[in-house]
Amino acid sequence: MTQEEVDSYLKENKINVSVMMEHGYDKDGDWAEIITDDEGYQTGFGDDCVRIEKLWGFSSPNGFHTFSWEEPKMTEALAQYMTVLFHKLYEEYDVCWNDAEALSLAYVMSEFQVPYVEREWDKKPDMSTEEGQEEVRKRLRDAIESGNFVVPNVVEETAMVCFITGEVISEDGGATFSNEFDAWVSKEGKKILQEQVDSGTIDTIEEWNIIWKELFQEKELSHE
């Protein structure tokens, strides 16, 4: 069974899986003090409690049951799987109650892992297919039409953007090309680099330091 099948079975049969009981132990392995409320319901354990073991079980329209064994490795997913397996063994294969419980526990406590099946709402479109690409296009159209998607102003591919300022460089911007970063540096970008050098902080930004050294060696900038 997959987790999806487990969830479906539990929902269809109105079965709820949860921690039904807790056992507390002191440092010697004996029962820890149990704290109860005014009506006698357990609310916790005393200060002598050093370990708590959870007992999982299930409740349904037909009643409830707590599995007999304490198992530290039991998780909610494993308890859900064990519950479904227990019901199938007991109801569909006529395995006796105790054996069904023992077999289902032994199975989930082995090297077993609940197979993962991606839930329908988590599935991502397969972009290698036309159907997947069309699904993405549809989602984008729906997002734009709903107003939850903002289309940014497009920068022409031929426009030069300054590596330092991030702004588009005008035609007379006196830009210098950096082979190191395959990018342009505008006059304003050079000015910022110069200010960083003059203040002695150019080394704090590695990329700026590298591009400064490249431009300085090419004599596009100077320390003067």
Q: How far is CA 106 from CA 68, 76, 85, 99, 196, in A?
A: 13, 16, 11, 10, 67
pLDDT at 13: 93
Is residue 87 within 8 Å of 13, Cβ to Cβ? yes
Instruction: Give me the tens of pLDDT residue by residue for the chain, a chain 224 residues long.
Output: 888 899 999 999 999 999 988 889 999 989 999 999 888 888 899 999 999 988 999 999 888 898 877 777 888 989 999 999 999 999 999 899 889 998 898 888 886 565 555 555 556 777 677 787 777 778 777 777 776 655 555 555 566 788 888 788 877 667 888 887 788 888 888 888 888 888 887 777 778 888 888 877 655 444 34
Q: What is the pTM of this model?
A: 0.47
Domain boundaries, the chain: 3-108, 160-217
Radius of gyration of the CA atoms of the chain, in A: 33
68-75: list long-range contacts, CB under 8 Å, 24+ apart: 68/101, 69/105, 70/23, 71/105, 71/109, 73/109, 74/108, 74/109
